[in-house]
Structure 1
Amino acid sequence: MKRYKNLEGHSGVTGYEITPDAIAVQFNNNAVYRYTYASAGKRVIEKMKQLATAGKGLSTYISRKVKEKFEDKIP
């Protein structure tokens, strides 16, 4: 899991892992959710990858646009 830069300083996201058709996101409560092309759509996942790499805006994007469109919760 790669550490999320959190450039805005108040993100609920602490880490992420990118794969070709998915992104796993770790939140500050240590929960990890995997979002995939199948669960959220390719455009959404590619935007999430972009935001994760930039270190800014991922948590807000998830709460406003992606919401519960995760594939699964990783134990």
Structure 2
Amino acid sequence: MQPYQSTDSDSGIAAYESGPGWIHIRFRDGGTYRYDDRHPGAGHVLEMQRLAEAGDGLNTYINRHVRDDYARRLD
């Protein structure tokens, strides 16, 4: 996983990794989650990948649009 480089440094996200159709996100308060084409869907995953690369808005996006619609908890 690579560190999430938040532009405002107060994100709840610590790190992420992604590949075609999926993204794994590790939150600072614990837990790593998989989001994929099935949950929450391809459009959301693409936007989450874009935001992760930009280092801006990923935590807000998850809170507003996907919340608990993840594929599974990894740890």
TM-score under structure 2 length normalisation:
0.96
* Distance (whole Å) between structure 2 residues aligned to residue 41 and residue 35 of structure 1: 8
**Partner of residue 55, structure 1:** 55
1:39 counterpart SS class: coil
- Provide, for residues 9-58 of structure 1, a one-character-per-residue CA deviation record: whole Å limited to 9, x for no partner: 21000100101110000000231000001011111000000000000100
TM-score under structure 1 length normalisation:
0.96
**Is there any run of 5+ residues in structure 1 with no aligned partner, and where?**
none
**Partner of residue 41, structure 1:** 41
User: Which stretches of structure 1, 4 residues or longer, exceed 2 Å deviation after superposition?
Assistant: none
Over the residues paired in the alignment, what is the CA RMSD in angstroms?
A: 0.7
Q: Which structure: greater helix fraction?
A: 1
**Is there any run of 5+ residues in structure 2 with no aligned partner, and where?**
none
| Identity of matched residues, % | 33
**Partner of residue 24, structure 1:** 24
> How many residue pairs align between the two structures?
75
